[in-house]
């Protein structure tokens, strides 16, 4: 069993990323917390948990971020866990997306996370419990109209992660994706607002319609998501790898 636990969390300043960072801090992980503006979230964790927290500002699409994250986690003794996350892409009908929309989103959703994983891999391989998890979306399993960038590019990342699980399994590295269904965060509020505008209705109507599609008839919580994410990132997860698991109240199986 390893004593030292160090997690690198990208997209960690709000929503699912922040909830997972807090859950990991509660379990004793030192953190490298990153996003475009991670400072106040990092300060909140420092104030509330007895762990070391380094904040590293930058978009996951920036080529230089990966090396800065690796240097920060090296300074904490080396990463044992990596959570890959970023904001959601624009919600637009697929035939209105330009080449530039696709290229920009690809940098954030595919090459950026893979670059960060490559930079951190020597540290993850150097400890016996290296774990990688990406925040994905239920739309990989059940594509949703209006969110073609998410449906398509998250699928690309998930299959890249599955390939990593195949290639690095012999080194003891476990790699998974955890797909949220509807979880109460800013992103889902923006998503519901956007659909309400597109369908010329109010957000309560959209919310009621989505609840009808979820067998549990409620949205998930960031804290519930974070408990499952922290499990998958920890040594308690000793045999789950190469999977995309859904945290969705039964949404995908019902649709």
Ligand X SMILES: NC(=O)c1ccc[n+]([C@@H]2O[C@H](COP(=O)([O-])OP(=O)(O)OC[C@H]3O[C@@H](n4cnc5c(N)ncnc54)[C@H](OP(=O)(O)O)[C@@H]3O)[C@@H](O)[C@H]2O)c1
- Smallest distance from the beta carbon of 153 to ligand X, in angstroms? 10
35 lies in the site for ligand X, by CB under 6 A: yes
CA triple 71-73-75, angle to 5 deg = 70
Residue choice 40, 96, 159, 186 for contact with ligand X (CB under 6 A): 186
The CA distance from 243 to 133, in Å, is 10
- Which residue lies nearest ligand X, judged by its C-beta? 15
- CB of 165 or CB of 229, closer to ligand X: 229
60 lies in the site for ligand X, by CB under 6 A: yes
17 lies in the site for ligand X, by CB under 6 A: yes
Task: Using the rule CB under 6 A, give the single segment among 20-28, 55-63, 163-171, 232-240 that binds ligand X.
Answer: 55-63
CA triple 118-120-121, angle to 5 deg = 65
- Smallest distance from the beta carbon of 79 to ligand X, in angstroms? 17
x/- track of binding to ligand X for residues 76-115 (CB under 6 A):
---------xxxx-------------------x-------
61 lies in the site for ligand X, by CB under 6 A: yes
- Smallest distance from the beta carbon of 169 to ligand X, in angstroms? 26
Q: How many residues bind ligand X (CB under 6 A)?
A: 29
191-250: contacts with ligand X (CB under 6 A): none
Question: Do 20 and 9 form a contact (C-beta atoms < 8 A)?
Answer: yes
- Smallest distance from the beta carbon of 166 to ligand X, in angstroms? 25
151 lies in the site for ligand X, by CB under 6 A: no
176 lies in the site for ligand X, by CB under 6 A: no
Residue choice 188, 206, 214, 233 for contact with ligand X (CB under 6 A): 188
152 lies in the site for ligand X, by CB under 6 A: no
146 lies in the site for ligand X, by CB under 6 A: no
- CB of 45 or CB of 61, closer to ligand X: 61
DSSP the chain: --S--EEEESS-SSHHHHHHHHHHHHTT-EEEEEESS-HHHHHHHHHHSSS-EEEEE--TTSTTHHHHHHHHHHHTT--SEEEE--PPPP-B-GGG--HHHHHHHHIIIIIHHHHHHHHHHHHHHTSTT-EEEEE--GGGTS--TTBHHHHHHHHHHHHHHHHHHHHHGGGT-EEEEEEESSBSSHHHHHHHHHHHHHTTS-HHHHHHHHHHHSTTSS-B-HHHHHHHHHHHHSTT--S--SEEEEESTTHHHH-
- CB of 29 or CB of 182, closer to ligand X: 182
CA atoms within 13 A on the CB side of 95: 0
Residues at the contact surface with ligand X, assessed by CB under 6 A: 10-17, 35-38, 59-61, 85-88, 108, 135, 137, 180, 182-183, 185-188
């Amino acid at each position: 069993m390893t004593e030292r636990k160090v997690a690198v969390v990208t997209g960690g300043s709000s929503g699912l990323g922040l909830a997972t960072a807090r859950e990991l801090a509660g379990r004793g992980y030192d953190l490298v917390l990153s996003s475009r503006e991670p400072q106040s979230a990092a300060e909140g964790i420092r104030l509330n948990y007895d762990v070391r927290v380094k904040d590293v500002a930058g978009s996951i699409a920036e080529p230089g971020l990966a090396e800065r994250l690796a240097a920060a986690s090296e300074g904490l003794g080396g990463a044992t866990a990596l959570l890959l996350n970023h904001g959601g892409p624009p919600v637009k009908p697929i035939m209105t997306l330009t080449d530039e929309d696709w290229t920009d989103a690809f940098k954030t959703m595919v090459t950026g996370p893979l670059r960060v994983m490559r930079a951190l891999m020597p540290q993850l391989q150097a400890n016996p419990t290296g774990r990688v998890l990406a925040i994905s979306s239920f739309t990989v399993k059940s594509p949703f109209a209006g969110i073609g960038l998410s449906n398509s590019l998250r699928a690309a990342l998930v299959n890249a992660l599955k390939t990593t699980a195949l290639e690095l399994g012999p080194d003891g590295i476990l790699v998974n994706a955890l797909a949220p269904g509807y979880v109460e965060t800013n992103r889902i509020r923006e998503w519901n607002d956007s659909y309400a505008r597109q369908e010329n209705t109010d957000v309560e109507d959209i919310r009621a319609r989505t609840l009808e599609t979820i067998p549990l008839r409620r949205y998930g919580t960031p804290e519930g998501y974070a408990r499952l994410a922290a499990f998958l990132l920890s040594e308690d997860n000793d045999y789950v790898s190469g999977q995309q698991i859904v945290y969705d109240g039964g949404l995908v199986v019902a649709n």
